[in-house]
Amino acid sequence: MPFINDEWLFLLQNLTASPGYDLYKIMSNPSLDIIIPVWNNPAETRSCLVSVMDSINIARLIIVNNGCDRPTELMLEEFSDHLGDRAIYMTMERNIGFIPAVNIALDRSDADWALLLRPTETLSNECVQQILATTQKEQAGIIIPYSPAEHSLAPNILKESCPCIETSSLGFSTLALSKKMREKISVFDEEMDGGQFCLSDYCQRANENNFRAYLLPGIKTKGLPLTKFGSLERRQKMTEAALKTFTNRWGLKKHFAIYLPKETAPENLSETLALLLDAARRGHRFEIFLHRKQYLLAKEQRATCLHTGITLHQLSALTPHRTLKRSVEKLKATNPEIQTVSPVDGIPFPGFSSTISTDLLTRLARD
């Protein structure tokens, strides 16, 4: 059965025949390339390509045949042929790996933004429109929809319905990258694991060049996992090597619990949040515990939508110190390495004798 049926052919022909049709005139600012690297999985790939059809009038498609078998290759060729100059079809003689295939396509892309889409994913028109709208955010370099399989968002972030929020946690399901940023930091490091450390390294390189990564909590994707190749032992060695490389470049990323006493001045709260944001951009995570008035003030400043690495907790009005102690103990049960910090000189962290020095936040934000 041919991949393009009569209904599809009618749609494609009507797109071509539309008066005044011009890909880059329809969406000239910003222009968009959608990159799909394919290695077999024809059923999932077909669904992915079908979903892209809703956005083909505002984007160009770059398909990478990464050493596919013949049936999948025929499907990709037929699809690309019908799109004409709205598609670029690239063929690898063998499977060169996911990251190298992505990098080759990124090098080929000359649009303002490149949207990487895994063939196990589908793309809604709403997702594309939200990504294009977010490209106007200040210093935007990376934009990703929310993938429950790849991101762990705090309940308050989802509850607040943040339209977009900065993040240091990326995923390969649906990933938009600006050309301006890529010209500064280049493509992904092929010597890393092709997974989380590769993504974290890229995000840190973006941050060092003052580009921001934004996550869209309201746009949810399936985020199906990539097929893993090689033995478990080999993959573990690759992950260990990637971790070593990442740590040598960027240092260890840490998790902290922050407590602000009730008498903290509003300006000190704002300064602390600014420091936490800079440190979160460097990959650190923070749980900040606030009294009721502080929490409401922080919400007014949209602190709940600052960064996915910053989670705000409201303390009980009647027993704040007891709530604080129980909450931190619960966090330590799942993450024993979490460290307590009281960023106000001379004020201890209630219930815990071991507290990091108060100048830590400044060092984390700037080192």
* pLDDT value at 137 more than 80: yes
In a domain, 185, yes or no: yes
At residue 178, φ and ψ (nearest 5 deg) are -80, 145
Which of the residue ranges 275-279, 354-358, 360-364 has the most confident prediction, judged by mean pLDDT? 275-279
In a domain, 13, yes or no: yes
CB 249 within 8 A of CB 195: no
C-alpha–C-alpha distance, residues 243 and 123, integer Å:
31
The pLDDT mean for the chain works out to 85
**Which amino acid does the sequence have at 194?**
G
In a domain, 158, yes or no: yes
Structural domain span for residue 269: 255-366
What is the pLDDT confidence band of residue 1, given thresholds at 50, 70 and 90? Answer: very low
pLDDT of residue 288: 93
How many domains are there within the chain? Answer: 2
> Taking residues 158-178, what's their average pLDDT?
89
Residues 189 and 56 reside in one and the same domain: yes
Query: The CATH number of the domain where 235 resides is what?
Result: 3.90.550.10
Question: Which of these, 63, 54, 60, lies nearest to 36 by C-alpha position?
Answer: 63
> Taking residues 63-83, what's their average pLDDT?
93
Residues 320 and 187 reside in one and the same domain: no
- Classify residue 175 by burial, with Cβ atoms within 10 Å: 0-12, 13-18, 19+: buried
In a domain, 34, yes or no: yes
Residues 69 and 206 reside in one and the same domain: yes
